[in-house]
């Protein structure tokens, strides 16, 4: 594992520890953050995969929702850049979110009630994980601006841009979800 001498007084804790090294003979999927400083592997198939529509994950990712691959903690291994990983613990839920301290990419999401699991940002992983994200959590918290697959048409004069024609969007009634 690459180590770099960096002093970061804001870093609350060390990077997530893996209790044992992942079995090198096990099939793996590789992932990395935006800048490439942090690289990791998870054993595949992963445990499960899911879309998280909660307000907390929306803010943590700066996106309409976050998609995670849940894997056993022992099957996640940070290959490179552990010193770049910064952790934030939510004071209310005690959930810990890790992100790259250099590029800000959200990496891992550990929930207090499932300490043996680590949820990994799906979008950072190349290739397949052995699990499709078929599950949705907190879908009632989906914002009304999220794209839900509405029909799109080319925008005249802007090659490569498609858009949703006004008036087509149906407001969702949260009570019906």
Nearer Cβ to Zn ion (102/111): 102
Beta carbon of residue 36, minimum distance to Zn ion (angstroms, whole number): 6
Per-state percent for the chain, helix, strand, coil, to nearest 5: 10, 30, 55
Nearer Cβ to Zn ion (52/83): 83
DSSP string across 33-71: -SSSS-EEEEESS-SEEEEE--HHHHHHHTSS-EEEEEE
Is residue 35 a contact residue for Zn ion (CB under 5 A)?
yes
Beta carbon of residue 107, minimum distance to Zn ion (angstroms, whole number): 9
C-alpha span between 68 and 108 (Å, rounded): 9
- Interface region with Zn ion, contact rule CB under 5 A, candidates 58-66, 92-100, 106-114, 165-173: 92-100
Is residue 102 a contact residue for Zn ion (CB under 5 A)?
yes
Among 37, 44, 69, 85, binds Zn ion (CB under 5 A): 37
Cβ-based neighbours of 8, under 8 Å, separated by 6 or more: 86, 101
Cβ-based neighbours of 114, under 8 Å, separated by 6 or more: none
Q: Is 25 exposed, middle or buried (0-12, 13-18, 19+ CB in 10 A)?
A: exposed
Binding-site size for Zn ion (CB under 5 A) equals 6
Sign of the Cα pseudo-torsion (124, 51, 13, 113, in order):
negative
Nearer Cβ to Zn ion (68/84): 84
Nearer Cβ to Zn ion (103/148): 103
- Interface region with Zn ion, contact rule CB under 5 A, candidates 14-22, 70-78, 90-98, 100-108: 100-108
- Interface region with Zn ion, contact rule CB under 5 A, candidates 19-27, 33-41, 120-128, 169-177: 33-41
Chain residues binding Zn ion by CB under 5 A are 33, 35, 37, 100, 102-103
């Amino acid at each position: 594992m690459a180590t770099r001498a960096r002093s970061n007084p804001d870093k609350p804790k060390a990077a997530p520890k893996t209790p044992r090294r992942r079995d090198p003979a096990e099939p793996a999927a590789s992932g990395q953050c935006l800048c490439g400083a942090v690289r990791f592997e998870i054993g595949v198939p992963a445990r499960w995969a899911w879309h998280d529509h909660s307000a907390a994950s929306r803010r943590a990712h700066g996106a309409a929702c976050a998609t995670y691959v849940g894997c056993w903690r022992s099957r996640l291994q940070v290959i490179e850049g552990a010193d770049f990983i910064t952790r934030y613990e939510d004071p209310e839920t005690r959930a810990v979110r890790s992100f790259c301290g250099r590029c800000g990419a959200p990496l891992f999401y550990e929930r207090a009630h499932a300490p043996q699991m680590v949820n990994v940002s799906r979008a950072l992983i190349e290739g397949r994980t052995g699990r499709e994200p078929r599950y949705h959590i907190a879908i009632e918290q989906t914002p009304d601006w999220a794209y839900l697959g509405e029909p799109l048409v080319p925008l005249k004069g802007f090659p490569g841009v498609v858009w949703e024609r006004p008036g087509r969007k149906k407001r969702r009634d949260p009570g019906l979800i």
